[in-house]
Amino acid sequence: MKPVLLVIAHGSRDPRHAATVHALVRRVRSLRPDVRVETGFLDFNIPSVQGVLESLAAEGVRDVVALPLLLTRAFHAKADIPAVLRDAPRQLRIRQAEVLGPSPLLLSALERRLYEAGLTPADKSSTGVVLASAGSTDPEAIAVIADIAWEWRHTGWCAVRPAFASAALPRTEDAVRELRALGCAKVAVAPYVLAPGFLPDRIARGAAEADVLAGVLGPAPEVARVLLLRYDAAAARGLLRLTVSA
């Protein structure tokens, strides 16, 4: 049997967060009905990751791919999630998948959201885009966002600037003003976040002077495809831990 896919989301007090995560998981299930997909949250929402793992073990499940529903490899992917997995029932064999980003498919999803918000392909060369992420204290994660912005700029946009809702600079509103100063005819903000919540709302407030604000990535089909690519890659490689109950 294929390993169970456990999607690990951060969780939020904002009910839109869990609703969006569940919508994405439903899309993943529709694409791969041969794979059992479960959802667990690190905080705020239920079921918890630990609770799901315990339930799977009680059912007799043995193989699990744990997939962080994260766009960059920062603290949660490097520390929080491995710690939770180490405390899982010992009979489970667990592979931790890579985070979703970066991926060309995610850039396609960002463009989808911008066009849904009102831009057209004809606007591309005259539009500056703010790639607005949640932010992180992890230098690796910040560098990845800067690299994505640089790569995206070379697909035909007037300019692309990274911005962060927390922990790093510039803020969204500052990046919007910079693109205006550069002379871009339009300025659009593309939230590089998966679900609504406190920090995405901060990005939206920072986009007040922009011409276009895209929606979050959410259950975009490209995001679901990336998720399954990460699952397949993890299922094909070595185990994070192999323990067999007596």
Q: What is the pTM of this model?
A: 0.93
User: Coil, helix or strand for 186?
Assistant: strand
Tell me the pLDDT tens digit for each residue of 109-151. Answer: 999 999 999 999 999 999 999 999 999 999 999 999 999 999 9
Query: What is the model's pLDDT at position 240?
Result: 44
β-pairing, 4-9 with 159-164? Answer: unpaired
Query: What is the model's pLDDT at position 97?
Result: 97
Query: What is the model's pLDDT at position 242?
Result: 38
Q: Which strand ranges, in their side-by-side order, compose the sheet holding 63-68? A: 37-41, 4-9, 63-68, 93-96
Query: What is the model's pLDDT at position 76?
Result: 83
User: Coil, helix or strand for 157?
Assistant: coil
Query: What is the model's pLDDT at position 74?
Result: 86
Identity of the residue numbered 162: P
Query: What is the model's pLDDT at position 241?
Result: 44
- Cβ 193 vs Cβ 217: under 8 Å: yes
Below-70 pLDDT ranges, the chain:
238-246
Report DSSP letters for 39-73, one per residue. Answer: EEESSSSSSBHHHHHHHHHHHT--EEEEEE--SS-
Q: How far apart are CA 217 and CA 96, in angstroms?
A: 23
Query: What is the model's pLDDT at position 245?
Result: 29
Query: What is the model's pLDDT at position 182?
Result: 98
Q: In the numeric block, which tokens belong to residue 156?
A: 């035909």
